[in-house]
Every structure is written in C-alpha cells, then in structure tokens.
Amino acid sequence: MSHLINISEAASLALHGLVLVAQQSPNTVNAKYLAEKLDASEAHLAKIFQRLSKSGLVRSFRGPTGGFVLNKPAEEISFLDIYEIVESKIILNDCPLDKTGCTFENCIFDDALINISNNIYKTFKNIKLSNFIE
C-alpha cells in the first residue's frame, strides 16, 4: 500500500501538533499532551518538536508550565514550512532515475512530474496553520 504523495508520519504529526499548539495560544503546550492527543509516541513527538524549535517555528520553555508556543503568527506558518523542516529539502521532481543513469534524450517523466510537483508545492504553501483555528 503506497501513498502517491510523500508525507511521512513525522510531517503529519508536526502539522497536527502545531495546530494544537496554535489553538492553545498563547499558552504553552507540552509534548506529553500532544502525544496523548495525537495517540503518538511521546519520544517521537518530542524529537519532531525539537526540530521545529531549532528551526524557529516554535519556542520552547523548560520546567513545569513549560512546553511549546508558536514563534510567529499562525497565518505565516504553512505546511510547506513544516514539511521542509521535517522531511528535509524538497526536490521538485525531475526524473527519479538520476541523470547519469538515464540514456533517454528527453526525460520520460518530464512535464508530467514537474507540473504535479509544482501543484503539490503550491498546495502545501497554501495550507496555513491559521486555516485550522476557529
């Protein structure tokens, strides 16, 4: 079973977790709460939020009452931002056979994949955290 679009559980958890953080703003939300709410491993969630924190998307506070808060307005955080932090940098698909391996003059996939990738890219960019807060 395979998804056509590449979204790891980690990226999905990051988005869902950040929505929860945004909803509680300006209060802090801790990893334990997020893990329970999303039925995920706390260790995994903590790791993901460490990366979000290092990248400046959230701020973190230690100690009791500690946790995470958004570091910028929810309107300014897109799923693309999150995706790039969690999944690493995006390649706007060219042929998955790297160029050295392919002896066809014109890439078989060319237009098709690039168009779709751009489409996905734009869609990810348009998904903002603020979309999910009432």
Partner DNA sequence: TACATAATGGTATTTAAGTACCAGAATTAG
Partner DNA sequence: CTAATTCTGGTACTTAAATACCATTATGTA
Instruction: Give residues 19-78 in contact with a second copy (rule: CB under 8 A).
Output: 19, 37-40
How far is residue 29's CA from residue 23's CA, in Å, rounded to a whole number?
10
Find the shortest distance in angstroms from Cβ 63 to a second copy: 27
Question: Number of C-alpha atoms within 13 angstroms, CB side, residue 2?
Answer: 2
> Would the CA dihedral through 44, 50, 56, 62 be positive or negative?
positive
How far is residue 86's CA from residue 104's CA, in Å, rounded to a whole number?
34
Number of residues that bind DNA (CB under 7 A): 27
Q: Which of 78, 20, 73 is nearest to 45 (CA)?
A: 20
Pick from 27, 37, 43, 122: which binds DNA (CB under 7 A)? 43
Residue 96 has what DSSP assignment? S
Q: By CB under 7 A, name the binding residues for DNA.
A: 2, 8-10, 30-32, 40-41, 43-44, 46-47, 49-50, 53-54, 60-68, 87
Q: By CB under 8 A, name the binding residues for a second copy.
A: 1-9, 11-13, 15-16, 19, 37-40, 87-93, 95-97, 100-104, 108-109, 112-113, 115-117, 119-121, 123-124, 126-127, 132
